[in-house]
Amino acid sequence: MPYLSEKFLKSRLGLDHAPGVKIEDDRSCTGCGYNLKGLTFGRACPECGQTIQRDLKIGLKDDLIGQGDPELRKRMQIGLGLASGCLLFALVARLLSLISAAFIVGEASSLYHMSILFNSVLWLVGVWLITPKAIDLQWPRLKALRLSIRFTQLLWPLALGAYAIAQMAANSISTTLESQLLSFQFTGRVIAGGGVLGLVWLMLVIAQGADLEKASRRLSSVLWGLPIFTIMAALFPDTFMWILLWILGLLLLGWAWMLAWFALALLEMSRHAGWSIHYMHEQIERDSRVMQKRADLQREAEKNVRPTSTRQATDIPLDS
- Residue 60: predicted pLDDT: 46
Residue 207's domain spans which residues?
69-270
pLDDT of amino acid 264: 95
Question: Which of 270, 291, 314 lies at the terminal end of a domain, its last residue?
Answer: 270
Structural domain contains residue 145: yes
The verdict on 24 and 113 lying in the same domain is no
Could you give the number of structural domains in the chain? 2
Regarding whether 143 and 264 lie in a shared domain, the answer is: yes
Asked if residue 297 belongs to a domain, the reply is no
Tens digit of pLDDT for each residue in 16-74? 444 456 777 777 776 677 788 888 776 777 777 666 765 444 344 567 787 767 888 89
Q: Are residues 233 and 140 in the same domain?
A: yes
Residue 117 lies in a domain: yes
Do 79 and 17 lie in one domain? The reply is: no
Beta-bridge partner residues of 44: 51
Task: Please indicate, yes or no, if residue 238 is contained in any of the structural domains.
Answer: yes
The distance of Cα 123 from the centroid of its chain, to the nearest Å, equals 14
Q: Encode pLDDT of 243-299 as tens digits.
A: 666 777 788 888 889 999 999 999 999 998 888 888 777 777 777 787 888 888 888
- pLDDT one-digit tens code per residue, 70-123: 888 899 999 999 999 999 999 888 878 777 765 655 555 677 888 899 999 999
Q: How far is 2 from 314, CA to CA, in rounded Å?
A: 93
Q: What is the mean pLDDT of residues 122-137?
A: 93
Same domain, 174 and 223: yes
Report if residue 279 sits inside a domain: no
CA angle 256, 189, 97 (to 5 degrees): 45
Tell me, yes or no, whether 52 and 185 share the same domain: no
Question: What is the distance between the alpha carbons of residues 267 and 274, in angstroms, rounded to a whole number?
Answer: 10
> CA-based Rg of the chain, rounded to a whole angstrom?
30
Q: Mark whether 113 and 242 lie in a shared domain.
A: yes
